[in-house]
Structure 1
Amino acid sequence: MFPMAFCTILLGLFFAERTFAFDRSLSTAHLKLRFDPQDCTITFGESVSLSLLIDGSTITNVCVQFNIDGKEFVQVSPNVTWINANQDFSRNSTPLEVIGLRPGRFIVKPTITPENTVDERRLFVRLKVALSEPLIYISLLIGWTYTVCWCSGYYPQLLLNYRRKSVVGLSFDFLHINIIGHISYAVFNSYMYWDSYTEEEYFNRHPFGLNPVIGNDVGFAFHASIATGYTIVQCYWYENGGNSVSSTARGIIAFLVITIIVSGGAVLMGSIHWLDFLYVLSYIKLITTLVKYFPQAYINYKRQSTEGFAIMNRLLDIAGGLFGILQMVINAWNFDDWQSILGDPVKFGLGVFSILFDLVFITQHYVLYRKPKKMQTHSKVRRDTAYHVTTNQCGEI
């Protein structure tokens, strides 16, 4: 089966890459400093306790002085910490206190003197100062709400196919392109979330970055892959009216698979890092999102009907999309960070793009191709006529 074969290719590339991969060399510095925790969320005017963790030793006295991005809005105490020379440290902890004086997102990072004496790659704190604490929990609740909406959206189509014992009206192109995107997204999320090798490379490239993948993303991607895969199984199990994957969709799928294989080969040859290959998978997801809706919209237009296509999945999808945008707006206002919306136009644009297509499907179902009441009346008359004819014939017999 195609989805299983696609998964096999990805797994083969991963294990082959690990066979030839070499770990990055670590810093030669004997003293390593980092903060615990590295991510903090508080409301303005409140403080949070941090620990400066010290490992290793140094032959010179080291001064840790805090340099704050937006220092007029964040206060750190104590501002200077000295580490004495010729001492061995093993996860020694020095307490610090950070106070947020206004809403925003800040990087708390110290300056080390003398330079190049400390491994300071993870010596910073990402501090988010919120305007209102209740809005933090409201945003979290909204996040789970849109996740539930998106996950639930796969079941109306599965149930409709089961009840009809037919998939006539459902686009095979939509499903087969979609499964490519979901599996690619699941692999990307899995390694970004669980794999320390990938995460280390990501932080080497983005020292102050935050891992973009959270647990919700991993769960949704796997659930979407399984649900879409089972829908594809239904397409070959139930009546399908001779429907199949079009040559255009086959060409798109072939292009995506070849791109993945070529990128995997580049990893094995050492031309790109495994993280770059995962980025390719994320771009595959982007491409499938841009093209997957067109086949279903076209088949609805061609049949002048949405029968066989569960509109409830689009209603749940648009609800999830709107909740997602609402969460972005709430977070932007609560953290005084409107750049979080404008700074990621691809993510925001994809969300708007999906909502627009949801509106297309809703318009097709409820406006353009809905069954006229007159046709429903005529259908009822024909049924009633057939009933009377059958009754009369039985009376004559």
Structure 2
Amino acid sequence: MPDSSLGEISVPIEDSTLQLAELAGYIATICFTLQYAPQAYLNYKRKSVQGFSTTGVLIKLVGASFLAVNAILLGEALPLCIYGIFNVSQHVIFMIQFAFYMKQKKFFWFCALPLIPLIVGVSLPETIPLTNTLKPISQLTSHLPQLYLSYKKRTTEGVSLSTQHLNVIGGFCGLFMYSFIEAKSFMTVLVYWNSLFQAFSLYALAVYFDGWERIWSSLPLVGGNQGSTREEPALPTVKNPDD
């Protein structure tokens, strides 16, 4: 998630338009805070993490951990701290799901990852400006393993497109806000564009491999462009979803 604090007004606008831009920013924050809830529910419903990249989630957890801890240590705005805590919690839940559904206990150890930025931030506070860059970098790179996995399996089964719908809403709302309010850095705006890239790239794979119905389906589809049919939730499996 980009910096939640608002910058300078970039163009002369009426108060009502400014309020609308600020509202869009808050909507974006809510979307990015809740975006992974549908994915966690999908994993729980099918008792499987097949098709969901463990590598991508691990990269996201690293970035989210540094964002949350650094925001708290620096006394950032409360919305940013809350977002960071929620983001870490959601990715820790994914690690627990990986451990249970793949029957690999090593993922429990990754739940302790937030302790690393806490130790670094407290003992070496001068490194915080540097480690703050890990969140946007991880957000920009963590989607690539998921794209690769979906392309290799030739299906988007296992990926919640409801999560991507929230990415789209949050991305457009964020870009709308920064059409009227000056961003504090280019990286802030880039992260909103990246949210749209993540969503539309998965939409493209979903349509190509699974058919148009996949965009709004509540369950994965099988058959792709050959004639899709609804598939029942997958049974538990120990196979690594990145295989």
TM range (shorter): 0.7 to 0.9
Q: Match for 1:144: what amino acid?
A: Y
Structure 1 residue corresponding to 2:168, chosen from 294, 318, 322? 318
Match of 2:85 in 1: 222
Higher-Rg structure is 1
8 Å Cα contact 1:293-1:357 kept in structure 2 = yes
Q: What is the TM-score when the length of structure 1 is the normalising length?
A: 0.46
State the distance in 2 between where 1:175 and 1:183 align.
12
- Structure number with greater CO (CA < 8 Å, separation at least 6) is 2
Against the structure 1 CA distance between its residues 376 and 142, is the aligned structure 2 distance closer, same or farther, given a 3 Å change threshold? closer
Q: State the Cα distance separating 1:239 from its structure 2 match.
A: 4.4
Say whether residues 1:349 and 2:190 are aligned partners: yes
CA distance in 2, matches of 1:317, 1:362: 12
Instruction: Name the % identity.
Output: 21
How far off is 1:376 after superposition? 3.9
Is 1:231 aligned to 2:81, yes or no? no
Q: Number of residue pairs matched?
A: 206
For residues 326 and 288 of structure 1, the distance between their equivalents in structure 2, rounded to whole angstroms, comes to: 24
What CA distance in whole angstroms lies between the structure 2 residues aligned with 1:320 and 1:180?
22
CA RMSD after TM alignment? 3.2
Q: Tell me the equivalent position of 2:234.
A: none
Q: Per the alignment, in what secondary structure is the counterpart of residue 178 of structure 2? A: helix
- Stretches of 4+ moved more than 3 A in 1? 128-131, 368-377
Tell me if 1:190 matches 2:72.
yes
**Paired residue type of 2:20:** I
Q: d(CA) in 2 for partners of 1:290 and 1:161?
A: 23
**Match of 2:29, SS?**
helix
For the pair 1:137 / 2:19, whether they are aligned, the reply is yes
Structure 1 position 181, deviation (Å): 0.5
- Find the counterpart in structure 2 of residue 329 from structure 1: 179
User: Distance in 1 between the 2:96 and 2:59 partners?
Assistant: 14
Per-residue deviation, 1:136: 3.0
> Who is 1:168 aligned against?
50
Letter in 1 for 2:200: L
Q: 1:281: which partner in 2?
A: 131
> Which residue in the other structure is 1:336 paired with?
none
Indicate if the aligned counterparts of 2:35 and 2:163 stay in contact, CA closer than 8 A. Answer: yes
Deviation string, structure 1 residues 117-153 (Cα, Å, up to 9, x no partner): xxxxxxxxxxx99642222321232122111211221
> Is the 8 Å Cα contact of residues 165 and 239 (structure 1) preserved in structure 2?
no
- How do 1:1-397 and structure 2 match up within 5 A? 131-193=13-75, 213-239=76-102, 264=120, 274=125, 276-331=126-181, 340-341=182-183, 344-370=185-211, 371-372=223-224, 374-376=226-228
Q: Which one-letter code corresponds to 2:145 in the other structure?
A: P
Partner secondary structure for residue 179 of structure 2: helix
Task: Please tell me the residue identity of whatever aligns with 1:157.
Answer: Q
CA offset digits 1:54-84 (Å, max 9, x no partner)? xxxxxxxxxxxxxxxxxxxxxxxxxxxxxxx
Change (3 A) 1:143 1:351: closer
2:50–2:158: 8 Å Cα contact kept in structure 1? yes
The answer (yes or no) to whether the contact 2:49–2:101 under 8 Å persists in 1 is yes
> In 2, Cα distance between the equivalents of 1:354 and 1:317?
5
In structure 2, the residue corresponding to 1:330 is in which secondary structure?
coil
What CA distance in whole angstroms lies between the structure 1 residues aligned with 2:224 and 2:155?
12
Contact 1:153 / 1:314 at 8 angstroms: preserved in 2? yes
AA partner of residue 353 (structure 1): N
What are the superposed Cα offsets for residues 349-389 of structure 1, whole Å, 9 maximum, x if unpaired?
Answer: 23223322321111111234434364447x9xxxxxxxxxx
Uncovered stretches (5+) of structure 1, i.e. residues with no partner: 1-103, 106-127, 194-212, 332-339, 380-397
Would you say the 8 A contact 1:181–1:284 is kept in 2? yes
The residue type equivalent to 2:148 in the other structure is: Y
- Matched position secondary structure for 1:329: coil
In 2, Cα distance between equivalents of 1:172 and 1:129: 43
Distance in 2 between the 1:282 and 1:154 partners?
Answer: 22
- Rounded Cα–Cα distance in structure 2 between residues aligned with 1:373 and 1:183: 40
Distance 1:131 1:151 in 2: 29
Contact 1:185 1:282 in 2 (8 A): yes
Which position in structure 1 is the counterpart of 2:237?
Answer: none
